[in-house]
Amino acid sequence: MEDKKKSEYMPNEIILLKLGETALKGQNKRSFENRLMHSIRTRLGSENFKVYAMQSTIYVEPKKESDLDEAMEKLKKLFGVVYLMKAAVCPKDENEIAKTAIAYLGDELKKAESFAVKCKRADKSFHLNSPELSSFVGGEILKSGVCRKVSLTEPDFSVELEIRDRAAFVHSAPIKGAGGLPVGTAGAAISLLSGGIDSPVSSYMMAKRGLKIIPLHFFSFPYTSEMAKEKVIRLAEIVAEYSDSKELLIVPFTKIQEAIKLKTPDAFGTILTRRFMMRIAERVAFMYKAKGIVTGENLGQVASQTLEAMAAIQEVIKMPVLQPLCGMDKAEIVATAREIGSFETSILPYEDCCTVFTPKKPKTRPRLGEVRDAEAPLLDQMEELINEAIKNIERVRLK
């Protein structure tokens, strides 16, 4: 089906994926499509489906008997796809198209009070134009009796036809996809993943803009429990459904937090903790050839999320820090968490390292000079602490 040298075989049913921004990428369009097709093959298995692109559409063709409903559920979470649908494939003949529409969509048409037929004719050589084909197929549906009323303005059911180069496709109204850009087209970034509501949402949002997400979690055993770790692993797996992340990196953080608690002023504990996290995240990013760091900061939400605190935290690295939640309110973040399925896991009552040793009166608007002074007692052991943490990173394979 990819070119005229290929077999003329057409499956009875196929999945069509419609592209959004990817279709507008000009000379780079093909590289975006290739990245998207790679993600599809990874999700569905290249042994099960043949995946190819034609006319700004991705075709997902079963090689053998496959569960298309299960495939559709996986593809709904695929960034880069605006709409998707299962479609019946038939020859480009108006009588065959009408018979296919009645057979393939008959059960849904019987339930509908009214219907309309919509046609897109990508193959302009087809002898009927779109209104003519729609009218013909609509008439045949009326004759069949599966639905007896046409409504062009507010139909209960939509029969949609596509006339393309190699075949005709019949389907119902498209299902909305995840949108955005194919994961990996914008490069890679380390995403700081805690056990809270915000960080899975920030990871999801940046994956939607084409970033490959490498989740990184800081774990302070025994102050944080194994149950807390399992919670974060589950959150990473939820994010991976959208981001195609392969593993979660877990950084042992206990010694660093104990050193901060022992040697620095209590009010600066949270800021100094975050500065260490940034240093480690940047070094891990270099190891994975990532170009940025994603965090879940939401401006003004907590003490460490003022502009002054953010500046003090980010001062220790040179890599871009992406903070997609900064302009959102909590209700919007929670709504997104519910939408992607992370909310119920995020609210499980297991602590994470960000809640360990929380200062009673944290510094909210620190000056850089006083932050550096507060951190000075740790300078002689800083490299040792960071190197040991990175050396002992645990890598958890995600399902």
Tens-digit pLDDT profile for residues 3-48: 433 344 444 899 999 998 776 667 788 899 999 999 999 999 888 8
Write out residues in the chain with pLDDT < 70, as ranges: 1-11, 23-25, 303-304, 352-356
Separation between Cα atoms, residue 367 and residue 374, nearest integer Å: 11
pTM to 2 decimal places? 0.87
For the segment 344-385, what is each residue's pLDDT rounded down to a tens digit? 999 998 776 666 677 778 888 899 999 999 999 999 999 999
Whether residue 253 contacts residue 356, with contact meaning beta carbons closer than 8 Å, is answered with no
The secondary structure element, H or E, covering residue 97 is helix 94-111
Q: Name the one residue in this structure whose structure tokens are 């990871």.
A: 203
Question: Residue 3: what pLDDT?
Answer: 41
DSSP 366: -
Whether residue 49 contacts residue 60, with contact meaning beta carbons closer than 8 Å, is answered with yes
